[in-house]
Every structure is written in C-alpha cells, then in structure tokens.
Amino acid sequence: MFELINKVKEINPLVIHYTNEVTINDCANITLALGASPLMSYSNEEVEEVVSIASSVVINIGTMNSSRLDLFVKAGKAANKFNKPVILDPVGVFATKTRTDFTNKLLNEIKFDVVKGNVAEIKFIGGLDVRGQGVDSFDDGEDISEVIKKIAKKIGCIVVATGKIDFISDGNTVIKIFNGTSKLKSVTGTGCMTGSLIGSYLGAYNNLEGRERDNFKKVEAVAMGVLTMAVSGELADKDNISIGTFKEELMNNVYEMNIDKLKEYGRIE
Amino acid sequence: MFELINKVKEINPLVIHYTNEVTINDCANITLALGASPLMSYSNEEVEEVVSIASSVVINIGTMNSSRLDLFVKAGKAANKFNKPVILDPVGVFATKTRTDFTNKLLNEIKFDVVKGNVAEIKFIGGLDVRGQGVDSFDDGEDISEVIKKIAKKIGCIVVATGKIDFISDGNTVIKIFNGTSKLKSVTGTGCMTGSLIGSYLGAYNNLEGRERDNFKKVEAVAMGVLTMAVSGELADKDNISIGTFKEELMNNVYEMNIDKLKEYGRIE
Amino acid sequence: MFELINKVKEINPLVIHYTNEVTINDCANITLALGASPLMSYSNEEVEEVVSIASSVVINIGTMNSSRLDLFVKAGKAANKFNKPVILDPVGVFATKTRTDFTNKLLNEIKFDVVKGNVAEIKFIGGLDVRGQGVDSFDDGEDISEVIKKIAKKIGCIVVATGKIDFISDGNTVIKIFNGTSKLKSVTGTGCMTGSLIGSYLGAYNNLEGRERDNFKKVEAVAMGVLTMAVSGELADKDNISIGTFKEELMNNVYEMNIDKLKEYGRIE
C-alpha cells in the first residue's frame, strides 16, 4: 500500500476543501507538500462546478460558521451526485448540541466515504460516553478495534479514530497505527491536516484505472493518510525541539516522505 | 504571580475566541503553546453552549466582518450571563468611524473584564488624540501610567496598553512591563496573540478555588499574559535573526516559558 | 527602479486587502516584511472609510466567498472613486464559470491598475485556450511577451503573468523576470503574496511627490513586486531545503531584501 504515495505525486489529485478558517492555510500547504492540489472554496454558486472537477472532497466543521452550514450540505450532496469520495471531519461533535445535530444531519443526508475524528469524537458518534473539553479529547490509548469496527458497520463507511493509537476500519478489517508523538496535539489543525492527506490519497486511489486500483484496498488509501501524518510527526519530534520548529519540521517531513521511510518507520498492525 | 503559568498548564482552561480571520491560526497555536485549549467558533447557534463551557472569552474585531458583528455582541452578552471573564481587543478602533461605533456599542452593552489594545487604541478609547495609520500606531514610549489608570476607572475594567512599555491597570495600581522587541510589530497578530495569552491566564485564574485564588490578583493574571509575550519576544530576538525565523522562535519561546525564565528576564514595575 | 524598495520602507504605504481566508495571514506578514502596513477588512460598512485612507487596494477572489462578492465590487469602485491604485488577482478564473463571470463583472465595473495572475489565468482572460487544474496551472516557460502586451492593451491596464518566466506589460513595454524557483508553486499563496508586494510598491509609488515620481515608471513599481518575490524565492531555495523551511526562508529573504541584492541577483529584460 506504500506505493500509493507515488500515485499521489503522479496523479496530482485535486482535493476540494470545505473547511474552517483556523487551519485552512495549513491544510492547503500539507496537500501541496504531499504532491496533491488543494482548492478551497466558500462559494455557494460554484459548488457543483468545483465538485465535478474534484478528485475528492473534504468537509470539516471546525468553526461551525453559521453562513456555511448549508454550503457544507450542498457540497456533500454534490460529491454524492458526481461520485466523488467525500470525507467528514466532525470537529468537536461532542462539544455542543449544535455540532451534534449538524453532524447527524450531514450523516443522514450524505453518503460519506470516510468519517475521521479523534477517539472521543468517533466514540461519541458511535453512541458511547466520552469525556472531552471543547474540541479536544482525552485518550488513554486503549484498544478500540472492536468498537470502531461496529461504528464503521453502523455508519456504513470507513471510520478513522486518531489518538495515541490510530484506528482505521471499514467494518471488516481494522488497521492500527502506532506511530506519532504527543506534540501533534500541541499544534492546532493536525487533525484537519490528516483529513487533507486522506483526501489526497483517496483522490489518487479513485483516479486509478480499474486494474491498477485492484492492487490496493480503499481502506489502505485512507490508512496511508493517517500513517503519513503519524510517521511525519514522529520523525519531526527530535530531542528538545520546541513547538514552532516542530510544526515546520512536520511540514518538511510530509514533503520528504517516501516509500522507503514508510517501510522503515511505519508501525502498523 | 509567576506561579500562574503553572496553573494554566494544570487547569488547561478553555479559551473561546470570536476573532478575525487573519491571525486566528496563530491565536490557536499560542493558546496551545502556553498549555491552554483554544476553541474558535463562528456559529450563532452555539454561542450560549460554548460560552457556558468556556473558561474565558476573547473578542477581537480585527477584520470587522459584517456578518459577525451581531455574533460578537451575542458572545459578549453570553459571557456576562455565564459569569465568564471576557476580553475585548478593539483592533484599529481609531481607524474608522465604523470601528469606533462598534467598539462603543460593545463597551455599552457588555461588561468587559479586560480591554486590551496598543497605546494608540487605548488612548483613543480614553478620549485622547492619537496618530495612527490603519490598525498600526505610533508610540514614543512615554509613561502613560496616569492616563491608563483614569481610562481603567472610566471604563470600569482592567485596561492593557501595549507598546515600547506595556501598561496594565485596574484603576488603582499600574503594572509596567519593560520587556519586548520592536520585531513584535513586524509580525502580524502579536497583539491578537497577547489577547489569547491573557484569556488563558484569566481562564486559569477564574477556575482557581477561592482560597488559592486569593494568592493572586486578577490584574496580575492579566499582566502575566502581556509579560509572557514580551519576554518571549525578547528572547526570540537574537542577533541577525530575520522575521520568519523570529515568528517561529516566538512560538518556541512561549512553549518553553516557565517561572525561572520569567524571574530571570522579567522587567516589571 | 530598485530605489523603490527604499521608498516602501520610508513611506510605509497602507495596503488594504479584500482577499481570501487561505493566505490572508501570509499576505499580511509579507506586507509587513517589505516595510508596508497591511489592513484586512471584511466590512461592508467601512469600505469607503478604509479605501479613502489607503495607499493601495488589493482584491483577490481566491475562495469566491459568496458573502463577499458584493463587498469586492464595492471596494473596487471605492478605489476608483478615491483614485487609489487597485490590483486584481483573479485566482482560478478558468476553473469555473462562476469565477469567469465574476472576474468579467469586476473588469467591467472597475478600472484596475493591475491585473495579476499566473500565465494560465492571464491567457484565459486574454481569450486563449488554457489547461489548468483547480486554481493551479501548467506553464511550459514559453515567451508570451506579445500575447501579454495585447492583453494589457485590451484590458487597458498593467498585466502581470507569473510563471517560469514572469511577464509584466503596460501594453507598450514588456518586462521579463527570469528569477524564481519551482518551490514557489509548492507553497500556497505565493501568488497572493506577490499581489501584496505589488500593492506595497504601487502604494509607495502613488504617494511619491510629482517630481520624485517622474524618476520611476508605474510599470516598474509593479515589476518590483514580482521581482522581490522571485529573487526572495530563489535565494530561499538552498540545497536540500524542505518546504516548511523554504516558506520561512522566503519570508526572511523578503524582510532582508535590499537594493544591493536586487542588483546582484535580479535577472531582468
């Protein structure tokens, strides 16, 4: 599945983002760093046009901007209409009833290919009790393989839960990623950026010709997005590095990521 | 009062930002760097929900986004309703009548705990003549202790005026901070980020239990936000450093700030 | 014409941006790095006030935010009313009919001083066939001097087309800039930031007294913005530098740019 990183660079998929204002610049830059093309739009008028030319669509509710809720629904529906892979990042879904209701609306009206959140967000969507504060979550590193498999079956799409261990499941198999560093929680938007990476891989995967696509599973394309962030973060976190430099090194490592590094450093089950 | 930096890291206060789109990412990152949790929301629907779980609320009018003026008023009122400390940053209040009028509206309808601006913004709010250009201000480093004390009394809250010397007053005492570097004016948003730091300290202060809180004064919590920025900027400004690297080092220094450094480098009166 | 960089630092022009949310922070920081003052506003209420005090106005349609299209038109008209130089960056004009139509509307209702895009965007505006993906463009480095001269005549303003070679034309002369690095395409917003630099130079140029202004041509002021970005990018791109560090070095190099460096490294025809 590591081969997929070269496919991103060859295919240069166009990843449309409907996202929050906090991390929008970092999401654009990490998409470029991996070798894909970002397009950010806040236009109601061009939704169908941009989605129709997209390789994938990322929807991220981070700031819950009142004037964009309808746009996000419209974008998701357009993705379904044009058969484009669409990823949901339900940031802070447990934090307010407003976020919970809007996430449910999105899940009801749109068929997502991936729902990606931190462990608390995904558990909450699965109907479990969570402890969180604002949009951050507590995570004790427990193995939630069975839980996430059930949630993936229930929602009917691939589910990603990031944390000390990252879990990716399509309802049948579970991929666990043990890479990472706690510093990823001290930079805003590393979760959002993971969504951009997933969008990039999934966009490339979707553009593969039938026979070539059979070499990979869709769940692997999704896992590659998570793995690229986790390994890049781990490699960026050197002795005594401080957080501003870590953020720069994270971007550096995504830009320089390749098959050899993924093979050498990736810890997957 | 330096102890308060450890309280931020222990308590991990949730700082809700209603802020501008220019510096929103930096504000989130500096809040995380200090050890607090940022939440940025542009949602009318969830105002009461997010403010009710907040430790503090920061309102920053930087881009004067037409579609958010009502939201900012609503957020301030919610902060008063739920007894949450609320900070106003009236960016460029002297630049346009629109900004002046909106700032007056906010000051009339909301009881702020802190009003923070640069020297020119604060003087203007106090009814004095100022020279400014756009949202930037001229500052000759004069001692405005008496002026700021009067303004704090007039508005009835703690007032912060940043510049060559930073002044913090609750109407009775004035704290002066002599740290800093002129490079802080060459990075956009260092003023906004100071607001985030004040919000973090004030959120932690407000969450202290009664007896522990008596060890500190509220005006000290506010001063700690200003001091953390000023000392971090000073330490970041090394020989021949250029501005991109300075911004990274500023974030590094906030992340690594501690009691010992504040004691060693802080120059306060 | 290299003298103009000192004029920017002396005059400190106020550059008002009506721009996208993706690169707004970088645009503010690069404006400061060059020695000008940025002001970003999303307020319908203060358009005339801020434009009347501006040295120049930059309009960038990057995210095509539905709620700001009217604001952008209003801002352009105010610039014409108050005789302020106004620059258009029609990001991705070829990507959707929505962008094409809106760009045409702007070009019809506003008299721009500069239209700046990448080679594909400018060719498209000139009525030529282009291949592009999203807001990115293909560019084979061909000499489009004659094409751009015609487009400048047709639109009736200075036209900038950035790419492997950058072209600047007022319809009579064409300035070609051979500096740069392919890494500028791997950082989001280097095009937008070039718009900010052009705004800074043009704002300074416009504020020069009659006799001093006669020492320079307007098209040179525009070229200086493009040249500053191209040379800064070239100097930032050292052996084995990765993309996060490159972005920081780009900002460093703009901050440290001066006449001597422009003379030594600038390759212009």
The 10 Å Cβ neighbour count of residue B257 is 23
Chain B contact probe: residue of A25, A60, A64 with most B CBs at under 10 A: A64
pLDDT for C142: 86
The single-letter DSSP state of residue B185 is G
Collapsed DSSP state (helix, strand, coil) of residue A256: coil
Pick the CATH number of A4-265 from 3.40.50.1220, 3.20.20.10, 1.20.1250.20, 3.40.1190.20: 3.40.1190.20
Whether the Cβ atoms of residue C165 and residue C176 lie closer than 8 Å to each other: yes
Parse chain C into domains and list their residue ranges: 4-265
The single-letter DSSP state of residue B52 is H
Cβ distance of C66 and A43 shorter than 8 Å: yes
Cβ distance of B24 and A22 shorter than 8 Å: yes
Q: pLDDT tens, A202-256?
A: 999 999 988 899 999 999 999 999 999 999 999 999 889 999 999 999 999 999 9
Q: Which residue of B has its CA nearest to A21?
A: B21
* Residue A140 pLDDT class (50, 70, 90 cuts): confident
Whether the Cβ atoms of residue A51 and residue A82 lie closer than 8 Å to each other: yes
Whether the Cβ atoms of residue B131 and residue B103 lie closer than 8 Å to each other: no
Of the candidates C96, C88, C97, the residue with the CA atom closest to the CA atom of residue C117: C88
Cβ distance of B24 and A25 shorter than 8 Å: no
Here the ipTM equals 0.95
Whether the Cβ atoms of residue A22 and residue A170 lie closer than 8 Å to each other: no
From edge to edge, which strands make up the β-sheet containing B166-169? Answer: B37-40, B14-18, B56-60, B86-89, B114-118, B158-162, B166-169, B174-177
For residues A51-77, give the mean pLDDT. Answer: 97
The strand ranges marked E within chain C are: 14-18, 37-40, 56-60, 86-89, 114-118, 132-133, 136-137, 158-162, 166-169, 174-177
Collapsed DSSP state (helix, strand, coil) of residue A154: helix
Of the candidates C27, C30, C15, the residue with the CA atom closest to the CA atom of residue C86: C15
pLDDT reading at A51 higher than 80: yes
pLDDT reading at A137 higher than 70: no
Element (DSSP H or E) covering residue A7: helix A4-11
Q: pLDDT tens, B201-257?
A: 999 999 998 889 999 999 999 999 999 999 999 999 988 999 999 999 999 999 999
Q: pLDDT tens, B92-117?
A: 999 999 999 999 999 999 999 999 99
Kind of pairing between the strands at A114-118 and A86-89: parallel
Out of A23, A133, A248, the one facing B25 most closely (by C-beta) is A23
Angle at C84 between CA B93 and CA C146, to 5 degrees: 140
Q: Would you list which residues of chain C are within 8 Å, Cβ to Cβ, of chain B?
A: 12, 14, 16, 21, 24-25, 28-29, 32-33, 37-46, 49-50, 53, 67, 71, 247-253, 255-256
Rg (CA), chain B: 17
Q: pLDDT tens, B6-29?
A: 999 999 999 999 999 999 999 999
The single-letter DSSP state of residue C268 is B
Angle at A164 between CA A162 and CA A167, to 5 degrees: 40
B89 Cβ neighbours under 8 A, 6+ residues apart: B58, B59, B60, B61, B62, B116, B117, B191, B192, B195
Kind of pairing between the strands at C166-169 and C174-177: antiparallel
pLDDT for A48: 98
For residues C148-154, give the mean pLDDT. Answer: 96
Alpha carbon of B211: minimum distance to chain C alpha carbons (Å): 42
Concatenating the DSSP letter of every residue in C76-144 gives HHHHHHTT--EEEE-TTTTT-HHHHHHHHHHHHH---SEEEEEHHHHHHHTT----EETTEE-------
Q: Would you list which residues of chain B are within 8 Å, Cβ to Cβ, of chain C?
A: 20-23, 25-26, 62-67, 92, 95-99, 133-136, 186-189, 242-245, 247-248
